[in-house]
Structure 1
Amino acid sequence: MNLSRRTLLKAGLASLAVPAVAACNNGAAARGDGEIIYWLWDSAQLPMYTECAQVFQEQNPQYKVKIEQYGWSDYWSKLVTGFISGTAPDVFTGHSSKYPLFAAKGQVLPIDDFVKRDNVDLGSYQKGLADRWIGDDGKRYGLPKDWDTEVYFYNSAFTEAAGISTEQLNSMTWNPKDGGTFEQIVRRLTVDAKGRRGDQPGFDPNNVKVYGLGYGDAGGGDGQTSWSWYAAINGWKYSEGEPWGTKFFYGDPKFTETIAWWRSLITKGYMPTYAQAKSGIDVTTAFGAGKYAITPNGSWMLGTYAGLKQVKTKLARLPIGPVGKRMSMMNGLADTIWAGTERRDASWAWVKFLGSKTAQDIVAKAGVVFPAVADSMPAAKAAFAKAGWDVTPFLEPVEAGDVFPYPANPNAADVTAVMTPAMEAVMSFEAEPASLAKANDEVNQILSVNS
């Protein structure tokens, strides 16, 4: 979602003057008592949730599920419009960066009473997932549906040509001073227009054919698929009170030196300029075209990379950093109920089913995302293995407990509105990394005003 849409989303919610439950109009109420409108944004997940709906309806013939899918760019603005007009879906896929604001505005239904009444086993989910959906008011606002972490996707033809082994890739180290063995590998994988590698005499950083490392954006305030793990393994954290940030630390020297190192790869010619990275070709398309040797990305992108038939893609672990371990952001989605629905019992029945092993097994076997229910993971591993993926690099940080949460708080849109242009300015060499301290002051001022 771009900056203007995020700003509009926050502004739209701010205009809500009354709780959504009091704002229902005939647009939402016109449906039958047993009909549930369910929204999601990922088209790749539409088939498996269609199957889930079929099974649910067979088990619960009194209910009918209508699924609507919208792309990420439109999903959130449509949802806010629905909140305001009283025509939002009964149940929708929620993101950990969005629900705090929705909950603060009374748009998401707490489900604690339902969970207690039906004895839902919250311990069946991957560790930490269920707690991500407890707001700062102590109430629960959703049941987990999946989870994700990050790794490096690499072109194995390029690594083989460079003489880089799988063992080297999976034992990389990193530090903010010289980049460790990770930067050595990225340097080796970078090739200029005359075929000279980044670690060979005469390498031309201004005329590069293959960049050792690709990226898609400047990371905004979360850096999920760009810089988050480097900062984490350098001993940095987003805020006090993670994931509900009460004071942010974008001005911390550990963060500044991390971003300075990351940006230095552009100067050295190992990574494209920000203008090149944002030139209209997304990071996976550029990777598929042979422009990047390595691209970091999340587990939700496995299907997209699998579609790049011209590239033999493999996965590598994230590097070990100064803290002595490798770390990954762990995020997860949940199914949430709109507070304004007039079909609460039907909506809860659907949410409870989606969070059950029956539905999670369907999700797992589709081989698109990792299911939230731990006992469904063997089926997911088998599905990904059948598709040619060894997903171990995604799983290891979770199994070791070396994960950190996606930063979340009710002011996420405002944080993004500050940090996105600040990070873009740094990566475009329009500002120095030290300028992030000023952006951090602005972020904390916003939190202070809104607290």
Structure 2
Amino acid sequence: MKKALAHKAWGAVALAAAAGLALTACGGGSSEGGESAKGEISYWLWDANQLPAYQQCADDFTKANPEITVKITQRGWDDYWSTLTNGFVAGTAPDVFTDHLAKYPEYAGKKQLLALDDAVSKDNVDLSQYNEGLADLWVGQDGKRYGLPKDWDTVALFYNKKMLADAGISEEEMKNLTWNPQDGGSYEKVIAHLTVDKNGVRGDEPGFDKNSVAVYGLGLAGSGSGQGQTEWSYLTGTTGWTHTDKNPWGTKFQYDDARFQESIDWFAGLTEKGYMPKLETTVGASMPDTFAAGKSAINANGSWMIGQYTGYKGVEVGIAPTPEGPEGKRASMFNGLADSIWAGTKKKDAAVKWVEYLGSAACQDVVASKAVVFPAVKSSSEKAAEAFKAKGVDVSAFTQHVEDKTTFLFPIADNAAKVDGIMKPAMDAVVSRKAPASSLTQANEQVNALFK
């Protein structure tokens, strides 16, 4: 949940703290932890949109367990991970926190996470209640479980209905887009036609001024670093290309593959044509906010952003499936968050109770009722879809990926922070057209050297 979303990989601060984390790995957090089942436990999350739902879960939990209270802290994405990493080093990390697939392998490797296997067995936690594959994502290379699933997400296309109508593009056309890396297919044609310069000339019309654009056909949040969860993975995933040789726990990345580089070259080319904002203009900007301001017509984004896009006043928003690719199928990265316990907690039993409650239908039904994300529990996920429908929001573009099995996993591998440290500047250079897509071959060699 990229980044939002989200759902990004490690930031620079996390890299800086890695050395300190390594020093505390042996003695910082014991897997035994404290045994107390009483008192206050701390719980961190990064998504402000989900805070009300989890506060209700915390209140309900305390009613059922009067001896335990939960203090929730919400932090923005970048601050969240840097503070958490520093907390591991300083011994001030929260008892329980929302975890990400890009993070937990290194945390588990540094012995900062409490294995949940004994608790899951002792308390008869039903792992089959979760959507297929989610529980398995949180089993590390050592075979131990480090989180209980909380939600899942896929990617779709948010679009401005009025802009579509003004351009003479039907919503049926939006639902049946095709794409290929050679000419962009009908997806590029739609993006071009929805692009309008400051003189009112469309991107596919004579006289279009690509240096003076009022409305971009496709919004841009960033280069996507090495994952491209919402930026480009829904495209590269239709070509047969995969991030790694196997997933999870791949040891060979494949950014040197011709299919990947051709796809990224097409993606970056949209900025040259004036159909997508230049990368440097996105720094510090919010893609959803610029969408709401009428500066872009289509935004590819994750299901965790449904509430934000549909909550803007004065903007009628539609949601379309991602385009079909060269192999005749759609694709979406499938990501799932979980709640993990810090190995250094002094209140292990209370923390375990809270994590098990977070992973239960009782809490996930509450999350579902708020119509913000899709919970991991299958029955709760279905209730979330109904809650969205009750708000007048059709979320089938997201759920269709799961139903049709057109998803692929977020790349789970060791050295995530170091991989991101290499791929972010490499991808930035390509998307900003300061380097050719072929330069990713050298970056790929640097990444794979990490695993030798």
TM above 0.5: yes
Counterpart of 1:373 (choices 371, 377, 398) is 377
Cα distance in 1 for residues equivalent to 2:31 and 2:358 = 27
Alignment of 1:68-87 (within 5 A): 68-87=73-92
Q: Secondary structure at the match of 1:126?
A: coil
Residue aligning to 1:305: 309
Matched, 1:435 2:443: no
- Tell me the residue number matched to 2:22: 14
Q: Which moved more, 1:207-216 or 1:31-40?
A: 31-40
Task: Give the TM-score normalised by structure 1.
Answer: 0.95
- CA drift of 1:435 comes to 0.1
**How far did residue 377 of structure 1 move?**
2.1
Q: Which residue of 1 aligns with 2:388?
A: 384
Which residue is equivalent to 1:97?
A: 102
* Structure 1 CA distance for aligned equivalents of residues 174 and 25 of structure 2: 54
Q: Aligned-pair distance for 1:266?
A: 1.3
Q: Partner letter of residue 222 of structure 1?
A: Q
Partner of 1:109: 114
Residue 287 (structure 1) aligned with residue 295 (structure 2): no
Which amino acid in 1 is paired with 2:56? E
**Mapped partners of 2:139, 2:37: distance in 1:** 31
- The question of whether the paired residues in 2 share the 8 Å contact of 1:8 and 1:77 is answered with no
What code does the residue aligned with 2:255 have? Y
Aligned length: 444
Q: In 2, Cα distance between the equivalents of 1:220 and 1:348?
A: 34
SS of the counterpart of 1:39? strand
Give 1:19-418 correspondences, 5 Å limit: 19-22=27-30, 33-278=38-283, 280-418=284-422
SS in 2 for 1:426: helix
Corresponding letter in the other structure for 1:141: Y
Question: How far apart in 1 are the matches of 2:341 and 2:14?
Answer: 21
Which stretch has the larger CA shift, 63-72 or 213-222? 63-72
Query: What is the TM-score normalised by the length of structure 2?
Result: 0.94
Deviation at 1:281, TM superposition (A): 2.4
Distance 1:72 1:171 in 2: 34
Q: Any stretches of 5+ residues in structure 2 without a counterpart?
A: 1-7
Residue type of the alignment partner of 1:380: A
Amino acid at match of 2:257: D
3-state SS of 1:21 partner: coil
* Residue matched to 2:5: none
Distance across 2 between alignment mates of 1:11 and 1:179? 44
Q: Does the 8 A contact of 1:226 with 1:296 survive in 2?
A: yes
Long gaps (5+) in structure 1: none
User: In 2, distance between residues paired with 1:361 and 1:441?
Assistant: 45
**Is the CA contact (8 Å cut-off) linking 2:25 and 2:111 kept in structure 1?**
no
Q: CA separation of 1:312/1:349 partners in 2, compared to 1, >3 Å: closer, same or farther?
A: same
Percent identity, aligned pairs only?
51
Equivalent residues of 1:256, 1:436 under 8 A apart: yes
The one-letter code matched in structure 2 to 1:173 is T
What is the DSSP-based 3-state SS (H/G/I as helix, E as strand, rest coil) of the residue aligned with 2:450? helix
Please state how far the C-alpha of 1:23 moved relative to its aligned partner: 11
* Cα deviation, residue 203, structure 1: 1.8
Q: Which residue of 2 aligns with 1:444?
A: 448
CA distance in 2, matches of 1:293, 1:384: 22
